[in-house]
Amino acid sequence: MSEYTFKDEEGNIHTIELVKVPYLPNPSSAGHGNPVNDDIEYEYLSAEFVRGIKNPYILKVSGDSMNPHLFDKDILILDYLKDKTPRKNGTIVSCILNAERLVKYFLLTDEGIVLRSANQRYDDIVIQEFDDLFIEGEVKNLTRDIANTKSFWMR
């Protein structure tokens, strides 16, 4: 843990605690999928921004399948799921399906596991017996404007 001190527009000095968090720079597709790579970088986030998240990590969204909830270039803060099981039905997850990373709603239905987009232009993905599915984490927080979230996001 480290600290960052800055002066706001009124001249007040603030100090915030920072936490080093893994960042997966390959965007996670809110669309048809992005190939997975193993690159990991690290970013420093405000400890307050990740409070209550046991295993935080960061992904960037690519695509429009989760509009109007998540948008292209949104930065997501997720909780890595060590047991690979979402805590409740309808959770937005990052997952790897057949070697492509996706961000979708996770649903358990009579058909089995379904990955659903928020954007109705995209079809549901019903997981088949031969599919390789790995649930990485649940979306817990997001930011849209890095330039205006200095108190939350520090490179």
- Could you tell me the residue range of the domain that residue 49 belongs to? 2-154
> Is-above-0.85 flag for pTM?
no
Q: How many domains does the chain have?
A: 1
Q: Which of the pair, 119 or 43, is modelled with greater confidence? A: 119
Beta strands in the chain (DSSP E): 2-7, 13-29, 34-35, 41-46, 56-62, 75-80, 91-97, 100-109, 112-116, 125-126, 133-143, 153-154
For residues 93-101, average pLDDT: 90
> What DSSP state is assigned to residue 85?
-
For residues 53-68, average pLDDT: 90
CATH number for the domain spanning 91: value is 2.10.109.10
pLDDT, tens digit, for every residue of 109-154? 998 999 999 999 999 999 999 999 999 999 999 887 654 444 444 3
Q: Which of the pair, 56 or 146, is modelled with greater confidence? A: 56
Residue 61 identity: V
